Amino acid sequence: MNFKLITTVLLFLMACTENDNTDSASNNENRLARIISVSASGSVNNYIFSVGIESPDTGCDQYADWWEVISEDGELIYRRILAHSHVNEQPFVRFGGAVKISNTQNVYIRAHMNTTGYGTQVYRGSISNGFTKFELDKNFAKDLETSAPLPNGCAF
């Protein structure tokens, strides 16, 4: 009888622990910035990107601090620094360029949070074929987090 009771309690505790881990992972995903739209205009090696971002900004303590264009090999092509949080403007769109790519070069566009790093919802594509939503590993080209240019503070 005691064995059944102990087994039941242990199974219950294990089930609770498993749910807590899932909730924690889910909460972490909710704190990532997501790219929700991308468009580009211009000419070869001189494109202007318009990037829509949805981020869980709370102020300078937690905000999307940049978006970037990277090659499929993980090389930084362009980074647009975001100088302030967008607490009351969600989602938001920011322009940036000149982005030096050809019209057929495939790239990733991703956003970065000052607290949780790179988001996994990115856009992938080229100027000629367009850009579509894509899931990118959070750690892909993670070393770029320390590459210039980097933000120099947060205005508000």
Q: What is the pLDDT of residues 108-137, one digit of tens each?
A: 999 999 999 999 999 999 999 999 999 999
pLDDT value at residue 124? 99
Name the average pLDDT for the chain: 88
| Banded pLDDT at 1 (limits 50, 70, 90) | low
Q: b/e string for 119-155 if b means 16 or more Cβ within 10 A?
A: bbbbbbbebeeebeeeebeeeebeebeeeeeeeeebe
DSSP state string for 24-66: HHHHHHHTS-EEEEEEEEEETTEEEEEEEEE----BTTB-EEE
Report the pLDDT value the prediction gives residue 2, as an integer from 0 to 100.
58
**Percent over 70 (pLDDT), the chain:** 81
What share of the chain in percent tops pLDDT 90?
Answer: 80
Confidence of residue 29 (pLDDT cuts 50, 70, 90): low
**pLDDT of amino acid 118:** 98
Report whether 123 contacts 40 (CB < 8 A).
Answer: no
Residue 4's pLDDT band, with cuts at 50, 70 and 90, is low
> pLDDT band at residue 6, thresholds of 50, 70 and 90?
low
Residue 82 has pLDDT above 50, yes or no: yes
Cα(76)–Cα(69) distance, integer angstroms: 6
Q: What is the mean pLDDT of residues 45-71?
A: 98
**pLDDT over 70 (residue 71):** yes
For the entire predicted model, the pTM comes to: 0.82
Report pLDDT for 30: 76
pLDDT band at 28 (very low <50, low <70, confident <90, very high): low
Domains and CATH numbers, the chain: 31-144 (2.60.40)
